[in-house]
Structure 1
Amino acid sequence: MVKQKTIKNEISLTGVGLHTGKEVKMTFKPAPVNNGYTFVRVDLEGSPIIEADANYVVNTQRGTNLEKLGVKIQTSEHVLAAFVGCDVDNVIIELNESEPPIMDGSSKYFVEAIEKAGIVEQDAERKYYVVKEVISFVDENTGSEILVMPADDYQVTAMVDFGTKVLGTQNATMKSISEFKTEIADSRTFSFLHELETLLDNGLIKGGDLNNAIVYVDKEISPKTFENLKVAFGKDSISVKPNGILDNLTLHYPNEAARHKLLDVVGDLALIGTRIKGKVIANKPGHYVNTQFAKKMSKIIKIEQKNQVPVYDLHKEPLMDVNKIMAMLPHRPPFLLVDKILEMSDEHVVGLKNVTMNESFFVGHFPGAPVMPGVLIVEAMAQTGGILILSSVPDPENYLTYFMKIDNVKFKHKVLPGDTLVFKCDLISPIRRGICHMQASAYANGKLVAEAELMAQIAKKN
């Protein structure tokens, strides 16, 4: 079991926001289990909280920007990437402005602060989403695509093609999150000269200088542009290096641009809110496609968590076979609707039924297109729950189980011949005076097919 982690001590950094140009203080604080990453605007009344959630993304121009109830957080990706890269699950990020400090344009200083604060395990298990099939998102306008495929660990590959001679095609790969701190964290943000001119014209990158963004020169620089750049960056002189970047910076890696794009992917996918076990491949990633993919993943995970599709080894020797079930339940074929009990505790029970074409109900229930009657699915869930309640007495053979109430019944998918039905019943409240109140669910083909809230009572046979 991998436990959740938070930081041991709070720690603060100060700097300038890249786009706002404002001085900002950012403080990392320990957070309780299942908190995730939360931003707190301490400069605003009530210190409003914005969770790092893909559904709060409102703008992805020059960064991933969040907004909740009118409160904004700009350029969140580099900070979030640092926490994922340091294997931290829960943290509170306090800001006295809307934008974290840009520092050197990478995650390096955030990683150093996290390590200085220390990392501690918490008394709760970390939850993962295990990728079982390929999931993808494509931006039809740009051709950008992100997909995730099954893998034992969280891996990311970024493939970028900028279509310029100065940069061209680059790839970067992180085979394990443990590589983030040494291979990815110090990769700095970058811009092309033509983008830089537009940003300056629109009053953006007010906190930019030649120390926190690599500028790739993808066009001829006019004397006027040289003068504008000198004013914008507060420099007496600016020149272009032989490798096509503005001076005062030396690349950390030949593929630093691709590594930074990978860093952005890690930060943006932190907005999913759940750790991933799978390999992410990002082709021409950007904040828009990254966050759209994060929204899609978040939705898929929430649906699966809501349905709570359990996974059991159906070939494992059952806890109870049909003979043991018949010794406890007063039902016999064709009305015995449970074949096996797979597991059981004081609070839950899991049963199984193999639905075959030989079932008696298929003779009369849509014989031309056989479907298992929904009422019999409910009855099968009740019989499974009956095993749980009868197991609470020393002589179950002397008792009968009767329905008292059925609430909130929902049928979601058809059950057909050849399906394997798995029933899971969880106690809503402890069994008292022979009364059992439970939430029952039925699954087939990896989907929730039916659910109901059941109440039953056992009574001694006359």
Structure 2
Amino acid sequence: MVKQTTITKEISLTGVGLHTGQEVTMTFKPAPINNGFTFIRVDLEGAPIIEADANYVVNTQRGTNLEKLGVMIQTPEHVLAALVGSNLDNVIIELNSSELPIMDGSSKYFVEAIEQAGITEQDAERKVYVVKDVITYSDETTGSEITIIPSDTYSVTAMVDFGTKVLGTQNANLKNISDFKSEISECRTFSFLHELEALLNNGLIKGGDLNNAIVYVDKEISEETMTNLKKAFNKDKLSVKENGILDNLTLHFPNEAARHKLLDIVGDLALIGTRIQGKVIANKPGHFVNTQFAKKLSKIIKLEEKNNIPVYDLHKEPILDIHGIMDLLPHRPPFLLVDKILELSDSHVVGLKNVTMNEPFFVGHFPGAPVMPGVLQIEAMAQTGGILILSTVPDPENYLTYFMKIDNVKFKHKVLPGDTLIFKCDLISPIRRGICHMQAYAYANGKLVSEAELMAQIVKVKND
């Protein structure tokens, strides 16, 4: 079990917002379990809290922007990437302005601050969403696409094509999030000259200088433009290097631009609100497609959590096959309704039944439209639970199981011939005096089909 983490002590950084030009002090603080990443605007009355949640994304022009009840958080992606890349789960970020500090345009200084603050393991299991199916989001307008596929780890691949001579096609790959610091964290944000002119003309990037953004010169610079750039960056001299970069910045990596795009992906996908186990493949990523994908994935995760659908390897060697089940249960066909036991512990059991058209109950239960009777679904869950309770005695063949109570029964979907039913029973309280109190669920086709709260008792058969 991997535990949740937070920082050991609080630590502050001061910088300017790239677009607002305002000085901002940001403080990382330890957070309780299951807090996630939350922002607190200490400059506003009541110190409002804004969760790092994809559903609060309102704008992705030149960065990701969050808004909750009229309170803004601007450009949090580099900080969020640093938090995820530093293996953190729960952190409070206090701000005295709306925009986070740009620093050098990367996550480097945030990662260093986190290391200085230290990381503390917490007494709670980390929540991880394990990707089971291919999930894709695409933007037909831009041709951008993000896909996530099943994998043993969280990894990210970014493929970009900037369509210019100075910066063409680049790829970047982060095989494991543990490599974030060394491979990705120091990669700085960038802009093309034609974008920079438009931003300056519109009064944006007030906090920009040549130390926090790489400028790729993709066009001839006129005397007027050069004068404006010198004024904007407070420089007496500006030049274009042979590699097409304005002034004298040295790239950390030849594909630093693609690596920064990958950094943005990690930061934007932190807005999903849970760790991910899967391989992300992004083609022409950007904040819009990143956050739209985050919203889609967040919705899928919440739906699965609501339905509480467990995943099991149906081809794995069972704990008990049909013969082992009959050694424990007194039931026999046609009233034996469990085919396999997939898991069995002191507090839970998971069973399986393959529903076929040959079931005897289909003969009389809507022959023209066969549906498995709900009462038999409950009986099958009870038989699965019976395995759990009978496994606690040394001579199960000498016991019978009887119902004591059935509560809160719900039938949500039909069970049809061809379905594979999975039954999961969890103890609500420890087994005492042969009484078993369980919460039982039945699943089919990735959906919860029925559930019930069951109470049963095992009674020893008297031997003559």
Query: Normalising by the residue count of structure 1, what TM-score does the alignment of the two structures yield?
Result: 0.90
Q: Is the CA contact (8 Å cut-off) linking 1:441 and 1:448 kept in structure 2?
A: no
What's the counterpart of residue 50 of structure 1?
A: 50
Deviation at 1:405, TM superposition (A): 3.6
Tell me, in whole angstroms, the C-alpha distance in 1 between the residues paired with 2:186 and 2:319. 54
Matched position secondary structure for 1:40: strand
**Corresponding position: 1:192 with 2:192:** yes
TM alignment of 1:405-444, pairs within 5 A: 405-412=406-413, 414-417=415-418, 419-429=419-429, 437-444=437-444
Tell me, in whole angstroms, the C-alpha distance in 2 between the residues paired with 1:423 and 1:63. 46
What's the counterpart of residue 86 of structure 1?
A: 86
Tell me, in whole angstroms, the C-alpha distance in 2 between the residues paired with 1:70 and 1:385. 51
Deviation at 1:433, TM superposition (A): 7.6
Tell me, in whole angstroms, the C-alpha distance in 1 between the residues paired with 2:326 and 2:242. 83
Q: Is the CA contact (8 Å cut-off) linking 2:18 and 2:102 kept in structure 1?
A: yes
Deviation at 1:303, TM superposition (A): 2.3
What's the counterpart of residue 450 of structure 1?
A: 449
The AA in structure 2 aligned to 1:362 is F
Q: CA distance change for structure 1 residues 243 and 316 in 2, over 3 Å: closer, same or farther?
A: closer
TM-superposition CA deviations, 1:55-86 (whole Å, max 9, x none): 11111111111112222111011001111112
TM-superposition CA deviations, 1:325-384 (whole Å, max 9, x none): 556656443223223444444433322222233210122334355432333223312332
The AA in structure 2 aligned to 1:243 is N
Sequence identity (%): 76
Matched position secondary structure for 1:251: coil
Matched position secondary structure for 1:415: coil
Tell me, in whole angstroms, the C-alpha distance in 1 between the residues paired with 2:164 and 2:48. 43
Tell me, in whole angstroms, the C-alpha distance in 2 between the residues paired with 1:243 and 1:70. 43
Deviation at 1:109, TM superposition (A): 0.7
**Corresponding position: 1:107 with 2:107:** yes
What's the counterpart of residue 278 of structure 1?
A: 278
Q: Is the CA contact (8 Å cut-off) linking 2:17 and 2:24 kept in structure 1?
A: yes
Q: Is the CA contact (8 Å cut-off) linking 1:127 and 1:274 kept in structure 2?
A: yes
Tell me, in whole angstroms, the C-alpha distance in 2 between the residues paired with 1:408 and 1:17. 55
The AA in structure 2 aligned to 1:67 is E
Deviation at 1:33, TM superposition (A): 2.5
Tell me, in whole angstroms, the C-alpha distance in 1 between the residues paired with 2:414 and 2:133. 21
Could you list the runs of 5+ residues in structure 1 that have no partner in the other structure? none
Tell me, in whole angstroms, the C-alpha distance in 1 between the residues paired with 2:323 and 2:88. 50
Q: CA distance change for structure 1 residues 400 and 440 in 2, over 3 Å: closer, same or farther?
A: closer
What's the counterpart of residue 214 of structure 1?
A: 214
Tell me, in whole angstroms, the C-alpha distance in 1 between the residues paired with 2:76 and 2:413. 39
Deviation at 1:91, TM superposition (A): 1.4
Tell me, in whole angstroms, the C-alpha distance in 2 between the residues paired with 1:391 and 1:253. 60
Could you list the runs of 5+ residues in structure 2 that have no partner in the other structure? none
**Corresponding position: 1:235 with 2:238:** no
Q: Is the CA contact (8 Å cut-off) linking 1:377 and 1:450 kept in structure 2?
A: no
Tell me, in whole angstroms, the C-alpha distance in 2 between the residues paired with 1:412 and 1:298. 24
What's the counterpart of residue 403 of structure 2?
A: 402
Tell me, in whole angstroms, the C-alpha distance in 2 between the residues paired with 1:123 and 1:46. 30
Moved more, 179-188 or 228-237: 228-237
TM-superposition CA deviations, 1:79-133 (whole Å, max 9, x none): 0111111222221111111111100101111111111112232333323222233
Q: Is the CA contact (8 Å cut-off) linking 1:2 and 1:125 kept in structure 2?
A: yes
Matched position secondary structure for 2:238: coil
Q: Is the CA contact (8 Å cut-off) linking 1:352 and 1:420 kept in structure 2?
A: yes
Matched position secondary structure for 1:407: strand
TM alignment of 1:24-423, pairs within 5 A: 24-314=24-314, 318-320=318-320, 322=322, 325=325, 331-388=331-388, 400-402=401-403, 404-412=405-413, 414-417=415-418, 419-423=419-423
TM-superposition CA deviations, 1:187-214 (whole Å, max 9, x none): 1111112212222222211111111111
Tell me, in whole angstroms, the C-alpha distance in 2 between the residues paired with 1:391 and 1:278. 37
Deviation at 1:390, TM superposition (A): 6.0
Q: CA distance change for structure 1 residues 342 and 93 in 2, over 3 Å: closer, same or farther?
A: same
TM-superposition CA deviations, 1:290-337 (whole Å, max 9, x none): 011111112222222333333345456655555665566564432232
Deviation at 1:175, TM superposition (A): 1.6
Tell me, in whole angstroms, the C-alpha distance in 1 between the residues paired with 2:319 and 2:254. 59
Q: Is the CA contact (8 Å cut-off) linking 1:414 and 1:449 kept in structure 2?
A: no
The AA in structure 2 aligned to 1:409 is K
Q: CA distance change for structure 1 residues 330 and 152 in 2, over 3 Å: closer, same or farther?
A: closer
Tell me, in whole angstroms, the C-alpha distance in 2 between the residues paired with 1:79 and 1:11. 13
The AA in structure 1 aligned to 2:48 is P
Q: CA distance change for structure 1 residues 339 and 153 in 2, over 3 Å: closer, same or farther?
A: closer
The AA in structure 1 aligned to 2:363 is V
Moved more, 167-176 or 76-85: 167-176
Tell me, in whole angstroms, the C-alpha distance in 1 between the residues paired with 2:10 and 2:230. 38
Q: Is the CA contact (8 Å cut-off) linking 1:413 and 1:449 kept in structure 2?
A: no
Q: CA distance change for structure 1 residues 410 and 7 in 2, over 3 Å: closer, same or farther?
A: same
Tell me, in whole angstroms, the C-alpha distance in 2 between the residues paired with 1:137 and 1:243. 34
Deviation at 1:412, TM superposition (A): 2.9
Moved more, 202-211 or 391-400: 391-400
Matched position secondary structure for 2:278: strand
Tell me, in whole angstroms, the C-alpha distance in 2 between the residues paired with 1:261 and 1:314. 39
Tell me, in whole angstroms, the C-alpha distance in 2 between the residues paired with 1:167 and 1:459. 73
Tell me, in whole angstroms, the C-alpha distance in 2 between the residues paired with 1:350 and 1:336. 16
**Superposed CA RMSD:** 2.6
Tell me, in whole angstroms, the C-alpha distance in 1 between the residues paired with 2:188 and 2:196. 16
Q: Is the CA contact (8 Å cut-off) linking 1:415 and 1:444 kept in structure 2?
A: no
Matched position secondary structure for 1:104: coil
Tell me, in whole angstroms, the C-alpha distance in 1 between the residues paired with 2:178 and 2:392. 48
Deviation at 1:455, TM superposition (A): 3.7
Q: Is the CA contact (8 Å cut-off) linking 1:374 and 1:411 kept in structure 2?
A: no
Deviation at 1:2, TM superposition (A): 2.8
